[in-house]
């Protein structure tokens, strides 16, 4: 009977002394490589956008204007970036038979945060201000057949707060593809809102 405690003690000592060796023999998981830092890099991009209008006084209150633009920005560090962007509509969009809408040009300035959620993709959110110049072209005809064309801005205020959220994915070399959604403009006088859907290509350098 006295041999049992001695045997248990020897077995416990054997297990304890063998644990470090077993831990060393266990294969280690390879460490995931860290995402490449973009701190200090500039970037240049091109965008194609659908600017969705809401709360218009004509038609069904909605319209979409297609625009193209450019983006220039800088990654200040691994989490913050700043950028400026601008663009214009290549041609007016017909809202009704007698009304066309056009974004003559827009210019935006943003500061944003971004996060590497995978090795090859980032998510980001940006906030800033936008300046938008617009034209509404209305065609009317009187009883004598005389046609009158009038042009005037359809936004009462040209400056507004702006925001967007998006994600990008590495493409070829230092380029990335991105998709975004946000608000370009909100007219505080007419309550017209312009939401933005953007896709584009960006080159980091």
> Looking at residue 91, what is its pLDDT?
82
CA dist 68 and 46 (Å) reads 7
- Residue 63 main-chain phi, psi, to 5 deg: -160, 155
Tens of pLDDT along 7-42?
A: 445 555 555 555 555 545 555 566 666 778 899 999
d(CA 70, CA 26): 53
Quick one: pLDDT at residue 26?
56
Q: What is the pLDDT of residues 51-60, one digit of tens each?
A: 999 988 765 6
Q: Is 174 helix (H, G, I), strand (E, B) or coil?
A: coil
pLDDT of 2 higher than 90: no
Q: Determine the Cα–Cα distance for residues 130 and 171; give it in Å rounded to an integer.
A: 29
Are 134 and 102 in contact by the 8 Å Cβ rule? The answer is yes
What's 86's DSSP letter?
E
pLDDT at 97: 65
123/172 Cα distance (integer angstroms): 19
Q: What is the pLDDT of residues 141-199, one digit of tens each?
A: 777 767 777 888 889 999 999 999 999 999 999 999 999 999 999 998 988 999 999 99
Identify whether the C-beta of residue 132 lies closer than 8 Å to the C-beta of residue 108: no
φ, ψ at 137 (rounded to 5°): -110, 120
| CA–CA distance, 193 with 162 (Å, rounded to integer) | 11
| 90-105 tens-digit pLDDT | 888 877 667 888 999 9
Q: What is the pLDDT of residue 31?
A: 64
pTM of the model: 0.78
In sequence order, the 6+-apart residues with CB closer than 8 A to the CB of 63 are 52, 53, 56, 93, 95, 101
Q: In the prediction, which pLDDT does 8 show? A: 47
pLDDT at position 83 over 60: yes
Topology of domain 42-204, CATH: Porin (2.40.160)
| Spatial separation of the C-alpha atoms in residues 52 and 195, rounded to whole Å | 5
pLDDT at site 152: 86
* pLDDT (0 to 100) of residue 65: 93
């Amino acid at each position: 009977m006295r041999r049992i405690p001695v045997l248990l003690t020897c077995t416990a000592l054997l297990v304890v002394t063998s644990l470090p060796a077993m831990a060393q023999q266990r294969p280690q998981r390879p460490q995931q490589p860290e995402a490449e830092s973009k701190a200090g890099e500039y970037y240049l991009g091109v965008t194609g956008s659908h600017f969705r209008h809401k709360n218009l006084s004509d038609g069904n209150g909605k319209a979409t204007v297609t625009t193209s633009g450019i983006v220039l920005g800088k990654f200040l560090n691994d989490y913050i970036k700043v950028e400026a962007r601008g663009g214009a509509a290549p041609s007016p969009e017909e809202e009704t038979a007698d009304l066309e809408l056009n974004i003559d040009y827009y210019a935006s300035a943003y500061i944003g945060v971004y996060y590497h959620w995978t090795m090859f993709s980032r998510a980001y959110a940006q906030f800033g201000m936008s300046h938008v110049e617009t034209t509404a072209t209305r065609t009317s005809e009187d009883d004598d057949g005389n046609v009158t064309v009038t042009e005037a801005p359809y936004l009462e205020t040209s400056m507004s707060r702006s925001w967007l959220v998006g994600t990008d994915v590495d493409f070829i070399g230092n380029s990335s593809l991105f998709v975004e959604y946000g608000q370009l403009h909100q007219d505080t006088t007419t309550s017209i809102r312009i939401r933005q859907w953007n896709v584009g290509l960006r080159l980091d350098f």
